[in-house]
Amino acid sequence: MPLANDAPRAGTFSSGAAIDTLKDAAQGLGHAGGVALHLHGLEKSFGPTRVLRGIDLDIAPGEFVAIVGKSGCGKSTLLRLLAGLDQPDAGEIRFADAGGGPVQPNKRIVFQEPRLLPWAKVVDNVAVGLGEGRRARAAAEGALEAVQLADKADQWPARLSGGQRQRVALARALVSRPDFLALDEPLGALDALTRITMQALVERIWREQGFTAVFVTHDVAEAVALADRVVVLDAGRIVLDLPIELERPRGRASAEAGRYEQRLLDAILG
Ligand SMILES: Nc1ncnc2c1ncn2[C@@H]1O[C@H](COP(=O)(O)OP(=O)(O)O)[C@@H](O)[C@H]1O
Ligand SMILES: [Mg+2]
């Protein structure tokens, strides 16, 4: 699987047609649609430590699911399995199209650290994996536009703020038009105000592009602000699966959101 945060891989997308699709997608002309995800009986251990203990979860195409839980409860382990970076010991991960048929989705992952190449300009960081040439550059510029960084295309990563760097990482994940995007505490290193702006950005892009999103966070307010459903993980098991029935775009700090946050905190803290 080509990864958003991998080192460059020349020729990953070699055909002109593929690049045109990428360009359209990055410019917001297309709609990825998202894939369904079915997890059944997922188990994962590291040595004697059972980290995931029978995870069952169904995610609809285009759904935005947040995973919350205490540090060490297995959130990143689960996300890595979904992104295909690691294999479960037992159980099944199945991706399906809207009709229920099996698909090989285009999966991408964004981490807490942007992992940019310091010697490559912003636009080249985004185009990593697309190869060389004008079309790759146009696709990367389109993705930068989506994250409101078009004016930084020829800047060096070191010249950007933390929030801007994370937007470049997001653009790099989006440029290939994923139908599944995994995000592992992507806003965790940002200051509170930047986080709020970035949450709105993530929500807008998800609404425009329609990919299926699984977003790990330890911040219940962030989970309630963004997700259709919040899943609470505790000691490798799902202890709560809570649909968030708030209209979008969501106002912050509403009484209703506060009640959702409290329910989640109660489940996390036991
Ligand atoms: N590669 C690994 N080798 C050994 N132990 C691991 C590895 N990855 C995660 N763990 C352990 O699995 C548990 C869950 O880790 P993780 O999924 O990273 O938790 P979270 O993301 O919820 O904080 C922790 O006890 C962690 O130490
Ligand atoms: Mg983690």
Separation CA 127–CA 231 (nearest Å): 33
Any domain includes 7: no
How many folded domains does the chain comprise? 1
* Ligand 2 ion: residues within 5 Å (CB): 75-76
For 86, residues 6+ apart whose C-beta sits below 8 A from its C-beta are 44, 77, 80
Provide the residue range defining the domain that includes 186: 16-269
Pocket of ligand 1 (CB under 6 A): 46, 49, 51, 69, 71-77
Q: Which of 163, 167, 166, 114 is nearest to 143 (CA)?
A: 167
In a domain, residue 2? The reply is no
201 CA distance to ligand 1 centroid (A)? 29
Cα 25 to the center of its chain, rounded Å:
16
The answer to whether the beta carbons of residues 205 and 174 sit under 8 Å apart is yes
If the chain, 270 residues long, is cut into consecutive pieces of 10 residues, what is the mean pLDDT of each piece? Answer: 39 41 44 86 97 98 97 97 97 94 95 96 94 90 95 98 96 94 96 93 94 97 97 97 93 88 96
Confirm whether 11 is domain-assigned: no
Question: CB under 8 Å to 242, separation ≥6 — which residues?
Answer: 229, 230, 231, 232, 260, 263, 264, 267
The answer to the question of residue 71 being in a domain is yes
Residue 6 domain flag: no
Which ligand has the nearest atom to the CA of 77? 1
Between CA 55 and CA 154 the distance in angstroms is 44
CA of 38 to the centre of ligand 1 (A): 22
Residue 177 lies in a domain: yes
Q: What pLDDT shows up at residue 32? A: 57
**How far, in Å, from the CA of 72 to the mean position of ligand 1?**
6
DSSP 75-118: HHHHHHHHTTSS--SEEEEEEE-TTS-B----EEEE-SS----T
Q: Is residue 164 part of a domain?
A: yes
pLDDT of residue 223: 97
Distance 55 CA to ligand 1 centre (A): 16
Ligand nearest, relative to CA of residue 112:
2
Residue 1 falls inside a structural domain: no
Rg (CA), the chain: 18
Q: 82-95, pLDDT tens digit by residue?
A: 999 999 999 999 99
pLDDT digits (tens, 9 = 90+) for 208-218: 999 999 999 99
| Ligand 1 atom at minimum distance from 184 CA | 21
CATH number of the CATH domain containing 176: 3.40.50.300
| Spatial separation of the C-alpha atoms in residues 165 and 182, rounded to whole Å | 18
Indicate which atom in ligand 1 lies nearest the CA of residue 79.
Answer: 17
Q: Are 81 and 95 in contact (CB under 8 A)?
A: no
Pocket test for ligand 1, best of 46, 50, 268 (most atoms within 8 A of CB): 46
